[in-house]
Amino acid sequence: MITIPGDRRNPSWLHKIKFVLDPIGYMESNYKQFGEIFHAPISGNYDPYIWVSHPQAFQKLFSTNPSYFDTVGSVYIKNFIGKDSVVAAEGKRHQRKRKLLLPPFHGEYLDNYGKSIILITNNAVKNLINNQLFLAHHLMQNITLEVILKVIFGVPEKPRIKQLKKAIIAWLEALNSPLISAAILVPSLQINLGSWSPWGKYSQSKQKIAEIIHEEIAERRQDNNDSYSDILSLLMNAKDEQREAMSDEELHDEILGLLFAGHETSAAGLTWAIYQLYKCSNVRKKLLQEIDTLGNNFEVKMIVNLPYLSAVCNETLRMYPPLPKTITRIANQSVNLMGYNLPMGTPVNGSIYLCHHREDLYPNPQEFRPERFLERKFSPYEFIPFGGGTRSCIGQALAILEMKLVLATILARYQLKLLENKTVKPKMRGTTLVPTGGVKMSFQGLR
């Protein structure tokens, strides 16, 4: 029996509930009590279920030469997105899917998304009313949903895609219920009593999304036009080394995963950034001075190369990583980790949040100080907002591009005011770390 420290007095379902209700408090209390490696069963029925937060542990988790850990398809992810998504795939199947998915998120395709992001941001902010309260999270969700629909389908104004947008909003709004977030982790709570029950409403929204995505796939296959450059078309035309294309179910699960990651996690990161920028006037002033140096050269390539803007984005993702933990890894052999000998089959989870708040790496970690990313270069085991190794987020380049362009556009052209007088605390919304209350703000017109 491995003597990993941790709370074994409470049942695993209670650990799951505690994590959903107060993820930061849960991680920090375990860290303070048990240290850099502890047992905390917030997923599955594993005993022990290991959490680590030291960069050396992340280096071993992410290592591929030699590889000590495999990533198994998470029951949590399969339940949330689908068994055929790249996130849920294992081994060679995961490698195949990753190769098919990578091209649309790099190179010329990525360059083409920039102008759309700026246009969508301007359209969303222009619709705000002077001096009227709005929630920053809602604004960012609106922007990121429009962006990801444009990127995936190419025609967001199409009636079917408008229906999809409504269904996605209903699906993700259901995640505001702690019961739904808990039920994703605890299958016994998944009680479907029709549309008036929380899980029934959640399931119906998800089923509606599936129907619309499959209708769009069927229409595209019938159309058989390979000239489109949106992600769905690129994935439908992609072939692996055996010249095999993705099935309809694979396409559905990949699109659903991209819709969630490209919308929900990006909206969370942007909301945290806006919150800190309008809370820390000195940081906002410094960023505005940098943005103003662009003058009339307000172009995508000029914006993405701004160093202080990059530092602001990194500091936001350090303090509030949208996904506060890594995908679970399973030891594929006996391995020593942080002084403990783990037998084959031991699940290990990396706490991104705890790593990003280590005093030895980030002095005064609760202080929002972008300068730390200009003063020091952090290793891929110290700064890991998009995970690491073969499981790093495929869409991270698009996420960073979107974050920079949305923030630069808003700060350069509009005036907002933060209406929060108290510190905004994080909460779990499904798998994502979001600000409680959505961050209250008001629109103050053009700059």
Cα 37 to Cα 28, 54, 86, 139, 359, distances in angstroms: 12, 8, 28, 38, 16
Is-contact 216 232, C-beta < 8 A? yes
DSSP string for 304-350? HT-HHHHHHHHHHHHHS-SS-BPPPEEESS-EEETTEEEPTT-EEEE
In the chain, what is the straight-line distance between the N-terminal and C-terminal CA atoms, in Å?
A: 63
Tokens 């058989």 correspond to 224
Residue 177 to residue 114: CA distance in whole angstroms: 34
Beta-carbon contacts of 288 under 8 Å, excluding residues fewer than 6 positions away, are 411, 412
DSSP string for 179-229? HHHHHHH-GGG-----TTSHHHHHHHHHHHHHHHHHHHHHHHHHH--TT--
Per DSSP, 434 falls in state E
- Kind of pairing, strands 69-71 and 329-331? antiparallel
Is-contact 429 181, C-beta < 8 A? yes
Q: What share of the chain is helix, strand, coil (3-state, %, to 5)?
A: 55, 10, 35
Tokens 């594993």 correspond to 46
Helix (H, G, I), strand (E, B) or coil at 426: strand
> Crossing angle of helices 12-21/23-34, nearest 10°?
120
Residue 242 to residue 244: CA distance in whole angstroms: 5
Is-contact 411 314, C-beta < 8 A? no
| HSE-CB of 202 using CA atoms within 13 angstroms | 24
Q: Any known ligand binding at 393?
A: yes
Is-contact 254 246, C-beta < 8 A? yes
Known binding-site positions for heme: 393
Known binding-site positions: 393
